Amino acid sequence: MPLSPKRVMHRKVQRGRIHGNATRGNQLDFGDVALVALEPFWLTNRQIEAARVALNRCMNRRGQVWIRIFPDKPYSKKPAETRQGKGKGAPEYWVAVIKPGQIIFEVTGVERAIADEAMHLAGSKLPFKTKIAYSTEVK
């Protein structure tokens, strides 16, 4: 089952725009290696899952992976070939609002080379530019 909230306060929300850089979720808190977003984007639950699966497969399910984002914004859409008016469309899927600097995945418990390769592969599954960040503490 894809990532989605169990309950939300509002079933439909306005789109809005993504301004500025991430002020929260931009520090390495759990792992040693992280995948960091460099562009603003709405990341769907399917895209998050595809990157997570690629990451785990590349690491052969060793180590530990943290997903630092969650799709909690409903993306609504009107059906194709529908006239305008008659209200807002039904929610289609869920998106996570990604700002530049936001950490998406963190990894620990594997060698640096394997973690690098896994993060590179996961980043290639995402539709925006990413970079790999490392923790400063030596382990």
Instruction: Parse the chain into domains and list their residue ranges.
Output: 33-77+90-134
pTM of this prediction exceeds 0.85: yes
> Can you tell me whether residue 1 is helix, strand or coil?
coil
Residue of 66, 46, 47 whose CA lies nearest to 56: 66
Per the CATH hierarchy, to which homologous superfamily does domain 33-77+90-134 belong? Ribosomal protein L16/L10 (3.90.1170.10)
> Can you tell me whether residue 6 is helix, strand or coil?
coil
* Cα–Cα separations (whole angstroms), residue 94 to 4, 12, 39, 57, 80: 6, 11, 19, 24, 19
Per-residue confidence (pLDDT) for residue 136, from 0 to 100: 79
Residues of the chain with pLDDT under 50: none
From CA 27, how far away is CA 131, in angstroms rounded? 14
* Cα–Cα separations (whole angstroms), residue 54 to 42, 45, 122, 124: 20, 14, 6, 10
Per-residue confidence (pLDDT) for residue 2, from 0 to 100: 77
Residues 6 or more apart whose CB falls under 8 angstroms from that of 128 comprise: 37, 38, 39, 41, 98
Per-residue confidence (pLDDT) for residue 138, from 0 to 100: 53
Per-residue confidence (pLDDT) for residue 132, from 0 to 100: 97
Dihedral of CA 46/52/57/61: which sign?
negative
> Can you tell me whether residue 98 is helix, strand or coil?
strand
Query: Alpha helix (H) ranges present in the chain?
Result: 45-58, 112-124
